[in-house]
Structure 1
Amino acid sequence: MASLLPLIQDILPMILPASVTVTKAAEILPSESEKARAAEIGTSGVRVISRNAVVDKTDKMCTSILIVKPNSCSSVRHHGEQEAIIYAVSGKGSILSQPKGDDDDEPERHELEPGDFAFIPAWTEHQAVNNSEVDWHLVIIRSGGRPIEVNLTGWGGAESKEAAKQ
């Protein structure tokens, strides 16, 4: 019976096809009022916006967006057992990845411009940094049906309770 399971999983979608699901930009991107409020607040406002786009549709993948405001950065983070692909939609920035050697080593810097992709292996600490004057928009596609995001207190640090408020 166990040998039939893979066969059933392959055939079932052909017999009972699933429907297409669409997530509209208006559902996930900041509204004009949110943008105006952020502009009024200035640098003390939210500097990184993370929103889920497609989650819980399959157990194999999910996607979210990350908007890094000008001259700001995300916390140092990892995605647990999930692998991730990051696609740069607009703006420019850097993905810093965990130093490979001593604690004093500088993180590796990977510059991303619109159209560039970055692969983040499971458990790899990284940080999104925007040193430009415009928003940096990223699409993040992860293995697994729901995003895992573990914010850290720093490179090799403990899980942060503060960073989760971003």
Structure 2
Amino acid sequence: MASLLPLIQDILPMILPASVAVTKAADILPAQTQPTEPESEREGEASGVRVISRNAVVHKTDKMCASVLIVKPKSSSSVRHHGEQEAIVYTVSGNGVLLSQPEGDDEEPKRHELGSGDFAFIPAWTEHQVVNESGVDFHLVVIRSGGQPVEVNLTDWGGPQTRETHSNQ
């Protein structure tokens, strides 16, 4: 019976195909941060929100999920890792820097410059930080292994977890 389980897992999707799921930008991005809005009308400047993270595709499969990350001008995310999840980051618009964990205690984080259309791969447990040094929003799509995103926020490089550590819902 145990030898049939892999066969059933391969055949079942052919017999009972899943449906396509679409998430509209208007359902995940605050209206003020959609790329068609003028810069002066965007969320963040007045509210003090500097990093916006929104789930795009979650709980559709246990193998992958996607979210949107918007880093406002002259700001950065916390230092973080994604636990056991691997991640692929796609730069939708803007320019920024992906910092990755220093190799030694006396070293600076490694800088990876990102611009529109660039991809980055972040291995599991790798500490990183997204920085926007420019004057315009930096929009990223983050695709992770696992059915929902895990973000483990740290106090600093190699530091303990903050209270904001969570799995996005």
TM-score by length of 2: 0.90
**What is the root-mean-square deviation in Å for CA atoms of aligned residues?**
1.7
The one-letter code sitting in structure 2 at the alignment partner of 1:93 is G
Amino acid at match of 2:22: V
| Pick aligned residue for 1:142 from 111, 121, 144 | 144
What SS class does the counterpart of residue 156 from structure 1 fall into?
coil
Aligned partner of 2:92 in structure 1 is 89
5+ residue gaps, structure 2, are 35-40
Partner residue in 2 for 1:39: 45
| Map of 2:159 onto structure 1 | 157
Q: Which amino acid aligns with 2:75?
A: S
Residue type matched to 2:16 in 1? L
Is residue 114 of structure 1 aligned with residue 116 of structure 2? yes
Equivalence for 1:7? 7
Partner Cα distance (2:150, 2:164) in 1: 16
> Percent sequence identity over matched residues?
74
The list of structure 1 runs, each at least 4 consecutive aligned residues, that deviate by more than 2 angstroms after superposition, is 32-41
Q: Distance in 1 between matches of 2:85 and 2:128?
A: 13
Query: Which range is displaced more, 4-13 or 32-41?
Result: 32-41
Q: Which has the higher helix share?
A: 1
Deviations 1:13-45 (A, max 9, x none): 11011100000000111123995553334xxx0
Gaps of 5+ in 1: none
Question: Size of the alignment, in residue pairs?
Answer: 160
The 1:33–1:141 alpha-carbon spacing in structure 2 relative to 1, beyond 3 Å, is: closer
Q: TM-score, normalised by structure 1?
A: 0.91
Q: Residue 149 of structure 1 aligns to a residue in which SS?
A: strand
